[in-house]
Protein backbone atom coordinates (compact mmCIF):
# COMPACT_ATOMS: atom_id res chain seq x y z
CA UNK A 1 0.00 0.00 0.00
CA UNK A 2 1.18 3.45 -0.84
CA UNK A 3 2.32 5.34 2.22
CA UNK A 4 -0.08 8.15 1.33
CA UNK A 5 -3.06 5.69 1.37
CA UNK A 6 -1.91 4.38 4.76
CA UNK A 7 -1.99 7.97 6.00
CA UNK A 8 -5.48 8.42 4.57
CA UNK A 9 -6.67 5.24 6.27
CA UNK A 10 -5.28 6.38 9.61
CA UNK A 11 -6.98 9.75 9.17
CA UNK A 12 -10.25 8.02 8.27
CA UNK A 13 -10.04 5.82 11.37
CA UNK A 14 -9.26 8.80 13.50
CA UNK A 15 -12.23 10.63 12.02
CA UNK A 16 -14.49 7.61 12.63
CA UNK A 17 -13.33 7.37 16.26
CA UNK A 18 -14.02 11.06 16.68
CA UNK A 19 -17.53 10.66 15.24
CA UNK A 20 -18.23 7.64 17.49
CA UNK A 21 -16.85 9.47 20.51
CA UNK A 22 -18.99 12.53 19.76
CA UNK A 23 -22.05 10.31 19.26
CA UNK A 24 -21.43 8.52 22.56
CA UNK A 25 -20.95 11.86 24.32
CA UNK A 26 -24.20 13.18 22.79
CA UNK A 27 -26.15 10.09 23.82
CA UNK A 28 -24.71 10.27 27.35
CA UNK A 29 -25.80 13.91 27.51
CA UNK A 30 -29.31 12.95 26.46
CA UNK A 31 -29.59 10.18 29.00
CA UNK A 32 -30.12 12.62 31.92
CA UNK A 33 -33.73 13.65 31.28
CA UNK A 34 -34.48 10.26 29.67
CA UNK A 35 -33.28 8.58 32.84
CA UNK A 36 -35.75 10.66 34.87
CA UNK A 37 -38.56 9.70 32.49
CA UNK A 38 -37.58 6.06 32.72
CA UNK A 39 -37.51 6.02 36.54
CA UNK A 40 -40.06 3.49 37.71
CA UNK A 41 -43.44 4.86 38.68
CA UNK A 42 -46.10 3.42 40.90
CA UNK A 43 -49.66 2.27 40.25
CA UNK A 44 -52.62 3.73 42.11
CA UNK A 45 -52.98 0.39 43.88
CA UNK A 46 -49.34 0.47 45.00
CA UNK A 47 -49.73 4.02 46.30
CA UNK A 48 -52.86 2.99 48.19
CA UNK A 49 -50.95 0.07 49.77
CA UNK A 50 -47.84 2.10 50.66
CA UNK A 51 -47.27 3.46 54.18
CA UNK A 52 -48.38 7.13 54.08
CA UNK A 53 -48.96 10.25 56.16
CA UNK A 54 -51.62 12.86 55.43
CA UNK A 55 -49.70 15.85 56.82
CA UNK A 56 -52.69 18.18 57.30
CA UNK A 57 -56.03 17.18 58.81
CA UNK A 58 -58.35 18.25 61.61
CA UNK A 59 -60.02 16.07 64.22
CA UNK A 60 -62.24 18.61 65.99
CA UNK A 61 -64.13 15.81 67.72
CA UNK A 62 -64.54 12.07 67.20
CA UNK A 63 -67.78 10.61 68.60
CA UNK A 64 -67.13 7.23 70.26
CA UNK A 65 -69.64 5.53 67.95
CA UNK A 66 -67.62 6.55 64.89
CA UNK A 67 -64.14 5.87 66.23
CA UNK A 68 -63.71 2.27 65.00
CA UNK A 69 -64.95 3.08 61.49
CA UNK A 70 -62.71 6.14 61.19
CA UNK A 71 -59.56 4.42 62.45
CA UNK A 72 -60.43 1.43 60.24
CA UNK A 73 -60.54 3.70 57.18
CA UNK A 74 -57.07 5.06 57.97
CA UNK A 75 -55.71 1.53 58.40
CA UNK A 76 -57.33 0.51 55.10
CA UNK A 77 -55.23 3.21 53.40
CA UNK A 78 -52.13 2.43 55.52
CA UNK A 79 -52.28 6.05 56.57
CA UNK A 80 -51.50 8.25 59.55
CA UNK A 81 -53.29 11.59 60.06
CA UNK A 82 -51.38 14.61 61.33
CA UNK A 83 -54.23 16.44 63.04
CA UNK A 84 -53.66 20.15 63.53
CA UNK A 85 -55.15 22.02 66.50
CA UNK A 86 -55.75 25.59 65.42
CA UNK A 87 -57.35 29.06 65.87
CA UNK A 88 -55.70 30.75 68.86
CA UNK A 89 -58.29 33.53 68.84
CA UNK A 90 -60.91 30.91 69.85
CA UNK A 91 -59.22 29.43 72.88
CA UNK A 92 -62.05 27.20 74.08
CA UNK A 93 -62.37 25.46 70.71
CA UNK A 94 -58.60 25.14 70.44
CA UNK A 95 -58.38 23.49 73.87
CA UNK A 96 -61.02 20.98 72.83
CA UNK A 97 -59.04 20.09 69.68
CA UNK A 98 -55.87 19.73 71.77
CA UNK A 99 -57.64 17.37 74.20
CA UNK A 100 -59.05 15.23 71.37
CA UNK A 101 -55.68 15.07 69.61
CA UNK A 102 -53.82 14.11 72.79
CA UNK A 103 -56.31 11.35 73.56
CA UNK A 104 -56.34 9.87 70.06
CA UNK A 105 -52.57 10.10 69.67
CA UNK A 106 -52.14 8.19 72.94
CA UNK A 107 -54.72 5.58 71.87
CA UNK A 108 -53.71 5.19 68.20
CA UNK A 109 -50.07 6.32 67.83
CA UNK A 110 -49.79 4.57 64.45
CA UNK A 111 -52.81 6.42 63.03
CA UNK A 112 -52.82 9.83 64.73
CA UNK A 113 -50.02 12.38 65.24
CA UNK A 114 -50.72 15.98 66.18
CA UNK A 115 -49.75 19.65 66.12
CA UNK A 116 -50.49 21.95 69.05
CA UNK A 117 -51.08 25.70 69.23
CA UNK A 118 -51.45 28.49 71.81
CA UNK A 119 -53.96 31.00 73.12
CA UNK A 120 -54.32 34.40 71.43
CA UNK A 121 -57.43 35.56 73.31
CA UNK A 122 -55.11 36.95 75.99
CA UNK A 123 -52.87 38.70 73.42
CA UNK A 124 -51.43 41.92 74.84
CA UNK A 125 -52.08 40.95 78.46
CA UNK A 126 -49.25 40.64 80.97
CA UNK A 127 -47.95 37.08 80.93
CA UNK A 128 -49.16 36.25 77.40
CA UNK A 129 -45.69 35.21 76.30
CA UNK A 130 -44.98 32.89 79.26
CA UNK A 131 -48.43 31.29 79.00
CA UNK A 132 -47.96 30.70 75.24
CA UNK A 133 -44.55 29.08 75.80
CA UNK A 134 -45.99 26.95 78.62
CA UNK A 135 -48.93 25.77 76.45
CA UNK A 136 -46.58 24.86 73.63
CA UNK A 137 -44.30 22.96 76.05
CA UNK A 138 -47.29 21.03 77.42
CA UNK A 139 -48.18 20.05 73.87
CA UNK A 140 -44.66 18.74 73.22
CA UNK A 141 -44.82 16.76 76.48
CA UNK A 142 -48.00 15.12 75.14
CA UNK A 143 -46.34 14.20 71.84
CA UNK A 144 -47.08 17.19 69.57
CA UNK A 145 -44.51 17.41 66.75
CA UNK A 146 -45.07 21.08 65.95
CA UNK A 147 -46.97 24.31 66.60
CA UNK A 148 -49.61 25.85 64.35
CA UNK A 149 -50.08 29.53 63.63
CA UNK A 150 -53.17 30.42 61.64
CA UNK A 151 -54.41 33.18 59.36
CA UNK A 152 -56.16 34.89 62.29
CA UNK A 153 -52.66 36.37 62.71
CA UNK A 154 -52.68 38.98 59.95
CA UNK A 155 -56.42 38.90 59.23
CA UNK A 156 -58.29 38.94 62.58
CA UNK A 157 -56.01 39.67 65.57
CA UNK A 158 -55.60 43.39 66.25
CA UNK A 159 -53.77 45.62 68.70
CA UNK A 160 -55.66 48.26 70.74
CA UNK A 161 -54.83 50.85 68.05
CA UNK A 162 -56.80 48.54 65.67
CA UNK A 163 -53.75 47.67 63.53
CA UNK A 164 -53.55 44.04 62.44
CA UNK A 165 -50.94 41.89 64.21
CA UNK A 166 -48.68 40.29 61.59
CA UNK A 167 -46.71 37.04 61.95
CA UNK A 168 -43.33 38.87 62.01
CA UNK A 169 -44.38 40.83 65.12
CA UNK A 170 -41.40 40.63 67.53
CA UNK A 171 -43.73 39.56 70.35
CA UNK A 172 -43.93 36.11 68.70
CA UNK A 173 -40.12 35.74 68.70
CA UNK A 174 -39.84 34.09 72.17
CA UNK A 175 -42.39 31.44 71.10
CA UNK A 176 -40.56 30.78 67.81
CA UNK A 177 -37.22 30.63 69.62
CA UNK A 178 -38.66 28.11 72.07
CA UNK A 179 -40.03 25.93 69.22
CA UNK A 180 -36.62 26.00 67.53
CA UNK A 181 -34.80 25.20 70.81
CA UNK A 182 -36.98 22.11 71.22
CA UNK A 183 -36.25 20.96 67.66
CA UNK A 184 -39.93 21.18 66.68
CA UNK A 185 -41.62 22.63 63.60
CA UNK A 186 -43.61 25.82 63.11
CA UNK A 187 -46.68 25.04 60.97
CA UNK A 188 -47.78 28.28 59.34
CA UNK A 189 -51.06 28.95 57.59
CA UNK A 190 -50.46 32.64 56.98
CA UNK A 191 -52.47 34.64 54.48
CA UNK A 192 -54.89 33.00 52.10
CA UNK A 193 -54.95 31.90 48.47
CA UNK A 194 -54.53 34.87 46.16
CA UNK A 195 -58.15 34.25 45.10
CA UNK A 196 -59.22 35.62 48.51
CA UNK A 197 -58.46 39.14 47.24
CA UNK A 198 -60.52 38.63 44.06
CA UNK A 199 -64.29 38.69 43.46
CA UNK A 200 -65.94 35.25 43.51
CA UNK A 201 -66.36 35.08 39.72
CA UNK A 202 -62.64 35.76 39.12
CA UNK A 203 -61.38 32.93 41.35
CA UNK A 204 -59.44 30.14 39.63
CA UNK A 205 -60.87 27.10 41.45
CA UNK A 206 -64.38 26.15 42.56
CA UNK A 207 -63.56 25.23 46.18
CA UNK A 208 -62.19 28.74 46.87
CA UNK A 209 -65.40 30.17 45.39
CA UNK A 210 -67.49 27.94 47.68
CA UNK A 211 -65.37 28.60 50.81
CA UNK A 212 -65.39 32.40 50.51
CA UNK A 213 -69.08 32.46 49.61
CA UNK A 214 -69.74 30.55 52.86
CA UNK A 215 -67.17 32.52 54.92
CA UNK A 216 -67.46 36.14 53.79
CA UNK A 217 -65.73 37.27 57.00
CA UNK A 218 -62.46 35.91 55.54
CA UNK A 219 -63.05 37.09 51.95
CA UNK A 220 -60.51 39.92 51.85
CA UNK A 221 -61.98 41.31 48.63
CA UNK A 222 -64.97 42.41 50.75
CA UNK A 223 -62.75 43.85 53.51
CA UNK A 224 -60.29 46.40 52.15
CA UNK A 225 -59.02 47.01 55.71
CA UNK A 226 -57.43 43.50 55.71
CA UNK A 227 -53.74 43.69 54.71
CA UNK A 228 -53.17 42.85 51.04
CA UNK A 229 -52.08 39.36 49.90
CA UNK A 230 -48.36 40.14 49.53
CA UNK A 231 -48.13 41.76 52.98
CA UNK A 232 -48.87 38.34 54.53
CA UNK A 233 -46.35 36.61 52.29
CA UNK A 234 -43.66 39.19 53.04
CA UNK A 235 -44.30 38.99 56.81
CA UNK A 236 -43.97 35.18 56.65
CA UNK A 237 -40.77 35.49 54.60
CA UNK A 238 -39.35 37.88 57.23
CA UNK A 239 -39.93 35.21 59.91
CA UNK A 240 -37.85 32.79 57.81
CA UNK A 241 -35.13 35.43 57.48
CA UNK A 242 -35.17 36.30 61.19
CA UNK A 243 -35.16 32.66 62.34
CA UNK A 244 -33.00 30.72 59.87
CA UNK A 245 -32.70 27.81 62.31
CA UNK A 246 -36.47 27.46 62.71
CA UNK A 247 -38.00 24.67 60.63
CA UNK A 248 -41.21 25.91 59.01
CA UNK A 249 -43.89 24.05 57.05
CA UNK A 250 -46.12 26.47 55.16
CA UNK A 251 -49.66 25.12 54.97
CA UNK A 252 -51.58 25.11 51.70
CA UNK A 253 -48.53 25.44 49.41
CA UNK A 254 -47.37 28.27 51.64
CA UNK A 255 -50.23 30.46 50.31
CA UNK A 256 -48.23 30.67 47.05
CA UNK A 257 -50.53 28.15 45.40
CA UNK A 258 -51.03 30.12 42.18
CA UNK A 259 -47.50 29.75 40.76
CA UNK A 260 -44.89 27.06 41.42
CA UNK A 261 -42.18 29.57 40.39
CA UNK A 262 -43.00 31.73 43.43
CA UNK A 263 -42.57 28.70 45.69
CA UNK A 264 -39.37 27.61 43.94
CA UNK A 265 -37.81 31.02 44.65
CA UNK A 266 -38.54 30.62 48.41
CA UNK A 267 -37.27 27.03 48.48
CA UNK A 268 -34.01 28.23 46.90
CA UNK A 269 -33.73 31.09 49.40
CA UNK A 270 -34.93 29.42 52.62
CA UNK A 271 -33.51 25.91 53.16
CA UNK A 272 -35.63 25.39 56.30
CA UNK A 273 -38.94 25.94 54.49
CA UNK A 274 -41.24 23.22 53.17
CA UNK A 275 -44.97 23.23 52.34
CA UNK A 276 -47.93 20.91 52.61
CA UNK A 277 -50.30 20.48 49.68
CA UNK A 278 -53.49 20.53 51.76
CA UNK A 279 -56.61 21.73 49.96
CA UNK A 280 -54.47 23.27 47.20
CA UNK A 281 -53.76 20.30 44.92
CA UNK A 282 -56.39 21.76 42.57
CA UNK A 283 -54.16 24.84 42.18
CA UNK A 284 -51.45 22.55 40.81
CA UNK A 285 -54.03 21.00 38.49
CA UNK A 286 -54.81 24.38 36.85
CA UNK A 287 -51.10 25.10 36.14
CA UNK A 288 -49.02 23.68 33.27
CA UNK A 289 -48.78 19.93 33.90
CA UNK A 290 -45.17 19.40 32.80
CA UNK A 291 -43.96 22.45 34.71
CA UNK A 292 -45.70 21.23 37.88
CA UNK A 293 -44.22 17.75 37.39
CA UNK A 294 -40.68 19.16 37.00
CA UNK A 295 -41.26 21.29 40.12
CA UNK A 296 -42.40 18.26 42.16
CA UNK A 297 -39.33 16.29 41.08
CA UNK A 298 -36.88 19.16 41.68
CA UNK A 299 -38.31 20.02 45.12
CA UNK A 300 -39.30 16.48 46.15
CA UNK A 301 -37.69 16.99 49.58
CA UNK A 302 -39.80 20.09 50.34
CA UNK A 303 -43.34 18.84 49.61
CA UNK A 304 -45.66 17.07 52.07
CA UNK A 305 -48.90 15.46 50.96
CA UNK A 306 -51.97 16.78 52.80
CA UNK A 307 -55.71 17.14 52.31
CA UNK A 308 -57.27 19.31 55.09
CA UNK A 309 -59.86 16.57 55.61
CA UNK A 310 -61.73 16.84 58.92
CA UNK A 311 -63.92 14.89 61.30
CA UNK A 312 -66.08 16.52 63.95
CA UNK A 313 -69.08 16.00 66.25
CA UNK A 314 -71.41 15.45 63.26
CA UNK A 315 -69.54 12.25 62.39
CA UNK A 316 -72.02 9.73 63.78
CA UNK A 317 -74.32 7.40 61.82
CA UNK A 318 -74.98 8.84 58.39
CA UNK A 319 -72.68 11.77 59.22
CA UNK A 320 -69.75 9.37 59.59
CA UNK A 321 -70.80 7.51 56.44
CA UNK A 322 -70.61 10.79 54.49
CA UNK A 323 -67.25 11.68 56.07
CA UNK A 324 -65.80 8.27 55.14
CA UNK A 325 -67.12 8.61 51.58
CA UNK A 326 -65.41 11.99 51.24
CA UNK A 327 -62.17 10.59 52.66
CA UNK A 328 -62.27 7.67 50.21
CA UNK A 329 -63.09 9.88 47.21
CA UNK A 330 -60.37 12.43 48.07
CA UNK A 331 -57.61 9.85 48.48
CA UNK A 332 -58.66 7.92 45.37
CA UNK A 333 -58.50 11.09 43.24
CA UNK A 334 -55.16 12.10 44.70
CA UNK A 335 -53.60 8.67 44.12
CA UNK A 336 -54.70 8.87 40.50
CA UNK A 337 -53.36 12.42 40.08
CA UNK A 338 -49.92 11.78 41.54
CA UNK A 339 -49.31 8.21 40.32
CA UNK A 340 -50.83 8.12 36.80
CA UNK A 341 -50.94 10.36 33.75
CA UNK A 342 -54.65 9.69 33.24
CA UNK A 343 -56.86 12.44 31.90
CA UNK A 344 -58.89 13.53 34.91
CA UNK A 345 -61.69 15.77 36.13
CA UNK A 346 -62.26 16.92 39.72
CA UNK A 347 -65.04 19.06 41.23
CA UNK A 348 -62.63 21.89 42.13
CA UNK A 349 -61.39 22.44 38.56
CA UNK A 350 -63.35 23.38 35.43
CA UNK A 351 -62.01 21.30 32.54
CA UNK A 352 -59.76 18.29 32.18
CA UNK A 353 -56.08 17.82 33.03
CA UNK A 354 -53.52 15.02 33.21
CA UNK A 355 -52.06 13.25 36.24
CA UNK A 356 -48.38 13.79 37.12
CA UNK A 357 -47.16 10.14 37.00
CA UNK A 358 -44.38 10.96 39.45
CA UNK A 359 -41.50 8.50 39.90
CA UNK A 360 -41.99 6.04 42.77
CA UNK A 361 -39.02 7.50 44.67
CA UNK A 362 -40.64 10.96 44.61
CA UNK A 363 -44.04 9.62 45.69
CA UNK A 364 -42.40 7.83 48.62
CA UNK A 365 -40.89 11.11 49.82
CA UNK A 366 -43.96 13.31 49.39
CA UNK A 367 -46.34 10.79 50.96
CA UNK A 368 -44.08 9.58 53.76
CA UNK A 369 -40.31 9.87 53.63
CA UNK A 370 -40.09 13.66 54.13
CA UNK A 371 -41.60 13.25 57.60
CA UNK A 372 -38.20 12.46 59.09
CA UNK A 373 -36.77 15.84 58.11
CA UNK A 374 -39.81 18.08 58.66
CA UNK A 375 -41.59 16.39 61.58
CA UNK A 376 -39.01 14.39 63.54
CA UNK A 377 -40.66 11.98 65.93
CA UNK A 378 -43.97 11.86 64.07
ZN1 LIG B 1 -56.42 23.07 57.83
Q: How far is the CA of 3 from the centre of ligand 1 (A)?
A: 83
Confidence at 39, pLDDT banded by 50, 70, 90: confident
Render pLDDT for 73-104 as a digit per residue (tens, 0 to 9).
999 999 999 999 999 999 999 999 999 999 99
Q: How far is the CA of 112 from the centre of ligand 1 (A)?
A: 15
Q: How far is the CA of 315 from the centre of ligand 1 (A)?
A: 18
Q: How far is the CA of 57 from the centre of ligand 1 (A)?
A: 6
Q: How far is the CA of 275 from the centre of ligand 1 (A)?
A: 13
Q: H/E/C letters for each residue in the chain?
A: CCHHHHHHHHHHHHHHHHHHHHHHHHHHHHHHHHHHHHCCCCCHHHHHHCCEEEEEEEECCCCHHHHHHHHHHHHHCCEEEEEECCCCCCHHHHHHHHHHHHHHHHHCCCCEEEEECCCCCCCCCCCHHHHHHHHHHHHHHCCCCEEEECCHHHHCCECCCCCECCCCCHHHHHHHHHHHHCCCEEEECCCCCHHHHCCHHHCCCHHHHHHHHHCHHHCHHHCCCCCCHHHHHHHHHHHHHHCCCCEEEEHHHHCCCCCHHHHHHHHHHCCCEEEECCCCHHHHHCCCHHHHHHHHHHCCCCEECCCCEEECCCCCCHHHHHHHHHHHHHHHHHHHHHHCCCEECCCCCCCCEECCCCCHHHHHHHHHHCHHHHCCCC
Render pLDDT for 255-265 as a digit per residue (tens, 0 to 9).
999 999 999 99
Q: What mean pLDDT do residues 329-353 have?
A: 97
Render pLDDT for 43-57 as a digit per residue (tens, 0 to 9).
999 999 999 999 999
Q: How far is the CA of 81 from the centre of ligand 1 (A)?
A: 12
CATH class of the domain whose range is 43-374: alpha beta
Q: How far is the CA of 23 from the centre of ligand 1 (A)?
A: 53
Q: How far is the CA of 7 from the centre of ligand 1 (A)?
A: 77
Render pLDDT for 5-31 as a digit per residue (tens, 0 to 9).
445 545 556 555 655 555 554 554 444
Q: How far is the CA of 281 from the centre of ligand 1 (A)?
A: 13
Amino acid sequence: MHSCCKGCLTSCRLFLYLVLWALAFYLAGCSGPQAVEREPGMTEAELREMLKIDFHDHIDALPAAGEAAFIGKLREHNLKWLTIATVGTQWQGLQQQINVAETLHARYPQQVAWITSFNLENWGETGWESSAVRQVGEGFAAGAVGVKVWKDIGMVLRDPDSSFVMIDDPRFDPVFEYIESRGKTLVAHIGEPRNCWLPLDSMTVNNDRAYFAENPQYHAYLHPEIPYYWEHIRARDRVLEKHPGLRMVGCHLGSLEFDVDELARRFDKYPNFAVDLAARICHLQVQDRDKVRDFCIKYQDRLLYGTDLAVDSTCVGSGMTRALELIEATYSRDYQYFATDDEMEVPEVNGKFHGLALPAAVLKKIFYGNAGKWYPGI
